Amino acid sequence: MEFKLSGQHQMMQKLFREFCQKEIAPYAAENDVKAVFPTEIIRKLGAQGFMGIPIPAEYGGAGADFLTYILCVEEVSRACASTGVILAVHTSVGTFPILNFGTAEQKQKYVPKLAAGEYVGAFALTEPDAGSDASALRTLAKKDGDDYVLNGTKIFISNGGHAQVYTVFATVDRALGAKGITAFLVEKDTPGFRVGAIEKKMGLNADVTTELIFEDCRIPASQRLGKEGEGFKIAMSLLDGGRIGIGAQGLGIAQAAFDEALKYAQSREQFNQPIFNFQAIAFKLAEMATQIAAARLLVYQAAFRKENGLPNGKQASMAKMFATDTAMAAATEAVQILGGYGYSREYPVERLMRDAKITQIYEGTNQIQRLVIAKALEKGL
């Protein structure tokens, strides 16, 4: 059993860290305040090959393994959590749908552009009345000759308006429940498709999140992904991988919060000594460091299992749940350690606390992760 990253993984981790601290971290606060999509940073990520890390070289990706991609999401998120989720959504649930379930034509048409960062990908599952209960979605895909006509509204769509291709889930027959759900690839400028309201959020402001509206949006059958009725299973299997990515995002946020808190505790003096000397503060840092170490093992283990074709749904949910709960706990403690400064925008920890909160909610709330884990236990997995 090995408990360290391979030499190659360590080298990539160093490369990601140096790039992200230099090119992304300095802009994180400004992007949060302005709530703008970081187009220039995404262009740089594309130029570095970071938008297609686990995508095979034949489709223009870096052809690296899933753990390398996870290390990248962690480092990007450590520098800027908004950019981290843009990358994670683009890759795990924006590019993998086409790579894993697309026809040869669909792969050729989209994957090279996505892997190069020329296109950004997005995933449209959630609706006003279908959040945790994803199979209750109501967007209708009515067959009409060789086309489907889509009508409905999606909400909380990460990368909304900035993605060029969306994997959209709709039902061909509401009476069929999960078995009617079908996936489609919808391009940005398709007539009948428009981006609705931009969500005003607590945090993760540079990851623009929008409504998507489909009004008699005609899609040729060649844009259907997989067979009719396969959409729910496609969505669930993609989310298994996506949740490892969100676990890595949580890990990055937790590490950033810890780094700030440790630095502050060692430099801030009260009662004529660094506050790190007080057990009340040192024990908080000890607790944070322990939880982060445990989260890292869970996230890397889930990535290892996925890469090696081992069952990983339960491990993905465990990693997502634990790492994102750790992010929230670490960011909250970091604010406490920094005291009044922690609550101020002068320091990054208040942003980290706002950004951490959503990681416990999206790609399946942490209550849904417990449900997935419990279902796996019931099946003896």
Q: Which is nearer to ligand CAA, 255 or 324 (CB)?
A: 324
Measured from the Cβ of residue 58, the count of other Cβ atoms closer than 10 Å reads: 11
Nearest distance, CB of residue 35 and ligand CAA, angstroms = 16
| Active-site residue, 118 included | no
Q: Does 178 bind ligand CAA (CB under 6 A)?
A: yes
Indicate the residue among 49 and 242 with the shorter CB distance to ligand CAA.
242
CA distance 365 to 165: 25
Residue of 75, 260, 333, 363 marked catalytic: 363
Residue that has been written with the tokens 């670490």 in this structure: 330
Among 67, 225, 352, 372, binds ligand CAA (CB under 6 A): 372
- State in angstroms the smallest separation of the CB of 59 from ligand CAA: 22
Q: Looking at residues 231 to 290 of the shown chain, list those that interact with ligand CAA (rule: CB under 6 A).
A: 232-233, 236-237, 239-240
Report the residue count for the chain: 381
Distances in Å between the Cα of 334 and the Cα atoms of 115, 228, 232, 250, 363 are 36, 48, 39, 15, 25
Among 132, 308, 344, 367, binds ligand CAA (CB under 6 A): 132
CB contact at 8 A, 319 and 301: yes
- CA distances 25 to 39, 271, 369, Å, are 15, 33, 30
Given the rule CB under 6 A, which of 39-47, 57-65, 111-119, 127-135 is the region that contacts ligand CAA? 127-135
Toward ligand CAA, which CB reaches closer, 246 or 265? 246
List the beta bridge partners of residue 158: 209
On whether the CB atoms of residues 264 and 336 are closer than 8 A, the answer is: no
Asked whether the beta carbons of 373 and 367 are under 8 A apart, the reply is no
Beta bridge pairs of residue 154 = 212
Residues touching ligand CAA: how many (CB under 6 A)?
A: 24
Least separation in angstroms between residue 248's CB and ligand CAA is 12
Query: Which residues ranging from 57 to 116 are in contact with ligand CAA (CB under 6 A)?
Result: 85, 89
The DSSP bridge partners found for residue 198 are 210
Give the residue with the Cβ less far from ligand CAA, 178 or 289. Answer: 178
Residue 70 tokens, joined: 């996870």
Q: Cite the active site residues.
A: 363
Binding residues for ligand CAA, rule: CB under 6 A, are: 85, 89, 123, 125-126, 132-135, 158, 178, 232-233, 236-237, 239-240, 313, 362-364, 368, 371-372
